[in-house]
Each structure stands twice: as structure tokens, then as C-alpha cells.
Amino acid sequence: MSTKPSVLFVCVHNAGRSQMAAGFLSALAGEAIEVRSAGSAPGDAVNPAAVAAMAEVGIDISDQTPKILTTDAVEASDVVITMGCGDTCPIFPGKSYRDWVLEDPAGKGVEAVRPIRDQIKARIEELIAELVPDATEAENPA
């Protein structure tokens, strides 16, 4: 029995980049990958411009709320992707850590968030291809 990979997205406020990344991964990978997101200093709400930018591509993240980064969340994840949270993420042996350098969408309008959203989508597509290389074959058996 194989267990599905799990990914944790971490940014400071868990209100923009990590929420968009989690939204894309959930939408594009379906049940193939377990998705979590958290922040080292979570904001009060998800960035409205991030919600609007994701809605433009058919993904609703309006029901999400920023969550505090916990040691348990890191420990339960196979891949931890940080987005500008610096050294606040706990390190566990055996985890794959990646740092995605992306502009912070905080305080920006939807026009400025769109290119960040598009960069995140491209990285998510690469991540899915790496973690679940046979996902497209499994969905469309010959």
C-alpha cells in the first residue's frame, strides 16, 4: 500500500502565497497529494486580492483561514515549501525543504497578484509531475 505524499506550504502570514499554492495543489492534484498551509505569524484573513486572483482561474480559496505553523504540521509533511518565512520553520530530518522566492502579495491589488499567482501555478505543476509522475497515466489508462 502506498501512502500519498504530503506538502506543507509556509509563508509568514499564511494569507497569500501559501494559500494560493495550497489552492492550486488541491485543485490540480485532487486526492493524489495531501495539502497543508500555515504561517509563522498568521494574518487575520486571506488576502482579498489573492482570493480574487484565484477566482479568476476558477479556484475558490475564500473559505480558507490563516493557520499557525506547528511542529506537528511539519512533522506530518514529506515536502515543506517555504515562501519568505526565513528561519522560523522547524527542521526535521528526512523532510524535503524548498524555498520558493516569490514576491509578497500583501497590500497589493489583484493586478499585481496575477503574475505571482501564475508563477505559483507553474511551480505547482512541476511539483505534481515530480511527486506523482504517473498521475496523468492513472487518470487516463491506455
Catalytic residues, by residue number, are 11, 85, 89
- Give the containing element (helix H, strand E) for 52: helix 48-55
Residues 6+ positions from 106 with CB-CB distance below 8 Å: 13, 15, 16, 47
Query: H helices of 56-94, where?
Result: 71-75
Per DSSP, 3 falls in state P
Per DSSP, 98 falls in state E
**Cβ–Cβ < 8 Å for 39, 68:** yes
Please tell me the distance from the alpha carbon of residue 59 to that of residue 35, in angstroms, as a whole number.
Answer: 15
